[in-house]
Amino acid sequence: MYYPKFMFKKVILIVVLAVVSFQATAQELLEPSFGFSHKKVSYVTLLDGTTIEGEIRDIDRKKGLIEYVKIKDADGKKHKLEAEEIQYMYLPPSGFDTFNKLGSKVYDAQKWYDKNLNSEYIKEGYVYFELADVQVKKKQRKLLMQLLNPAYSQKVKIYHDPLAKKTMSIGMGNITLAGGIAKSYYISKAGAVAYRAKKKAYDEDYVSLWEGCETVDQAGEEKPVWRDLGKHALAFSDCQE
C-alpha cells in the first residue's frame, strides 16, 4: 500500500512523540552525550580553580574513557588537557545528542538539590563531567565521568558507564527512535568511591543502596525495577533533606 510522504512524516512524528513521552515517564536520568558542539562555548575548570572558556576541538578516549580534552580559548590559544587536570566541565552537546535528551525530565525538576552545580547551564542542555574516584575492576582510578542526575546528585551520583550494554532499542525501519536502557551505571553514594552497578544485580543491591529511606519503594512491583533507578535516587535525595 502506498502512503503519501506527508502521511509517513506524520506517522514518524507521532511515534517520536510517543517514545519521548515514554522516556520522560520512565526515568529521570539524562541520556549520555557523545558528540559535542564546536561552535558553542564550553566551560572547563581545572584542579587549581582556573576556568577555560572556549570551543571544544576534540576529546580523546580510550575504551570509552576520556584521556585528553582539547579546547581553544577566546584568545585563540589551544590547550590539550589531561583528564586528571580537569576538576569539572560543562560541554554543549551536538545537535543529534540534543535531540536524544528530549526524553529527560531533569529540566523540569521542581527542586534543585545540588547547589554545587550550575543549574542554568544544565537547563540550557549542557553536559556535566567531573573528576571522580572510580573502582574499575580491582583498581581505584580518577576518571572524568559524565553525571546523569545533576539535579539531584548531592546524596547519590549516577555516572554514565562508557562500556555499558543496552536493552533493546525502539526503532522504525532503519531509523532508531530511542536507545535502550543502559544495563550498568557507576554509582557513588555519600561521596564514596563510585562502583559499577548492574541491572542483573539490582535486586541484591536495592536494600543496601537505599537503606534508611522508607519512601523509596517498589511502586507495587514484586521486585525493584532497574528502569526506575533514577526515580529511586530522586526519592532518596528527597528523603535525606
The pTM of this model reads 0.81
- Residue 114 within a domain: yes
The set of long-range contacts for 189-195, using a CB threshold of 8 Å and a minimum separation of 24, is 189/155, 189/156, 189/157, 190/155, 190/156, 193/133, 193/134, 193/135, 193/140, 194/132, 194/133, 194/134, 194/135, 194/145, 194/157, 194/159, 195/135
Poorest-pLDDT segment among 109-123, 139-153, 227-241: 109-123
Q: How many domains does the chain have?
A: 1
As beta bridge partners, residue 194 has: 134
Summarised one tens digit per residue, pLDDT across range 147-184 is 999 988 989 999 999 999 887 555 555 444 455 789 99
pLDDT at 236 over 50: yes
Percent residues over pLDDT 70 in the chain = 74
- Chain position carrying cell 581505584: 140
- Residue 48 within a domain: no
pLDDT at 47 over 90: yes
- Residue 219 within a domain: yes
Q: What per-residue confidence (pLDDT) applies to 167?
A: 78
- Residue 16 within a domain: yes
φ, ψ (nearest 5 deg) of residue 199? -55, -45
- Residue 57 within a domain: no
Handedness of CA 58, 64, 66, 67 (dihedral sign): negative
- Residue 78 within a domain: no
- Residue 64 within a domain: no
Tell me which residue range forms the domain holding 28. Answer: 5-35+93-239
How far, in Å, CA of 99 to CA of 19, rounded?
12
pLDDT confidence band for 132 (50 / 70 / 90): very high
- Residue 146 within a domain: yes
